[in-house]
């Protein structure tokens, strides 16, 4: 299992000063930044477009972990790659050609990930596991930060970790939603190695203390 990695989610930072959020993450020597892209269709909320990501790219050299919550992600992988994404993750639920879209992400020079909503079984991504750099298990219904962690997702994480080990695969196993100092260790025990943390990082009185605590997971 890869070393544990805390990935702050810019969704929970001040949207009028995204640069400050990115610089805080950099100042703590955390290498990745999670960027949630929502279209108001696949999820009932709107966030950032490629122009925002491109603007932030000018102020940060962090690894941009871009999570597309879109009905038609295949239409947007190129604009986000050109905007400076380093990794682009797409949901398995909408109907489009997942394998072709993952290959397109790679061809654009980015790492690629596949994402499962809480209601989606691990089997839905099984045929794609050999093709991805990351599998993202949503531990809340996506759309909003600050929701309560779903403990019933832990067996799904364990199943994906088991497939990874049995098949000699090396994708990262990421969790997203309600992850904090209480729920993160349970995800780690189930096999997750990459922890998206929004509210529990940016709203913490001392984000550096959160970073230090997660390093021990
Ligand atoms: C939820 C997003 C998450 C969100 C997590 O739809 O995908 O990345 O930022 O936020 P917290 O950590 O507050 O649950
Ligand atoms: Zn996310």
Residue range 144-186, pLDDT digits in tens: 999 999 999 999 999 999 999 999 999 999 999 999 999 999 9
How large is the C-alpha radius of gyration of the chain?
16
Question: Other C-beta atoms within 10 Å of 146: how many?
Answer: 13
143 lines ligand 1 (CB under 6 A): yes
Q: Which of 171, 132, 131, 176 is nearest to 153 (CA)?
A: 176
Is 176 an annotated catalytic residue? yes
- Helices in 84-120 by DSSP H: which ranges? 98-107
Q: Is the pLDDT confidence value at 1 over 80? A: no
- Asked whether the whole model's pTM tops 0.75, one would answer yes
**Is the alpha carbon torsion for 76, 175, 154, 144 positive or negative?**
negative
Domains of the chain: 5-215 (3.20.20.70)
177 lines ligand 1 (CB under 6 A): yes
Residue 129 CA, ligand 1 centroid: distance in Å: 23
12 lines ligand 1 (CB under 6 A): yes
65 lines ligand 1 (CB under 6 A): no
11 lines ligand 1 (CB under 6 A): yes
Of 133, 176, 180, 193, catalytic = 176
**Stronger pLDDT, 3 or 17, i.e. the higher one:** 17
Closest ligand to C-alpha of residue 140 is 1
Look at the block and give the residue holding tokens 């949630």: 36
Please report which helix (H) or strand (E) contains residue 64, including its range: strand 63-69
Mean pLDDT over the full length of the chain: 98
DSSP for 36-59?
EEEBSSSSS-B---HHHHHHHHTT
Residue 28 CA, ligand 2 centroid: distance in Å: 20
pLDDT per position as a tens digit, 88-128: 999 999 999 999 999 999 999 999 999 999 999 999 999 99
Residue 145 CA, ligand 1 centroid: distance in Å: 4
Look at the block and give the residue holding tokens 């990794």: 87
- The DSSP bridge partners found for residue 113 are 89, 134
CB-facing half-sphere around the CA of 149: CA atoms within 13 A: 20
Please report which helix (H) or strand (E) contains residue 7, including its range: strand 5-8
């Amino acid at each position: 299992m890869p070393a544990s990695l805390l990935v702050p989610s810019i969704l929970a930072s001040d949207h009028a000063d995204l640069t400050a959020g990115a610089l805080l993450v950099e100042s703590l020597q955390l290498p990745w930044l999670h960027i949630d892209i929502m279209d108001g269709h696949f999820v009932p909320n709107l966030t950032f477009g490629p122009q925002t990501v491109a603007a932030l790219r000018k102020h940060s050299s962090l690894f941009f972990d871009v999570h597309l919550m879109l009905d038609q992600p295949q239409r947007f992988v190129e604009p986000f790659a050109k905007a400076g994404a380093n990794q682009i993750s797409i949901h398995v639920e909408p109907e489009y050609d997942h394998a072709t879209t993952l290959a397109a992400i790679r061809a654009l020079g980015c790492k690629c990930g596949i994402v499962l909503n809480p209601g989606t079984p691990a089997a839905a991504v099984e045929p794609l596991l050999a093709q991805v750099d990351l599998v993202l298990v949503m531990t809340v219904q996506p759309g909003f930060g600050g929701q309560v962690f779903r403990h019933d997702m832990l067996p799904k994480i364990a199943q994906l970790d088991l497939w990874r080990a049995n098949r000699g695969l090396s994708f990262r196993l990421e969790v997203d939603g309600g992850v904090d100092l209480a729920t993160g260790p349970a995800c780690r025990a189930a096999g997750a190695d990459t922890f998206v943390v929004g509210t529990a990082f940016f709203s913490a009185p001392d984000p550096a203390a959160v970073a230090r605590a997660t390093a021990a997971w």
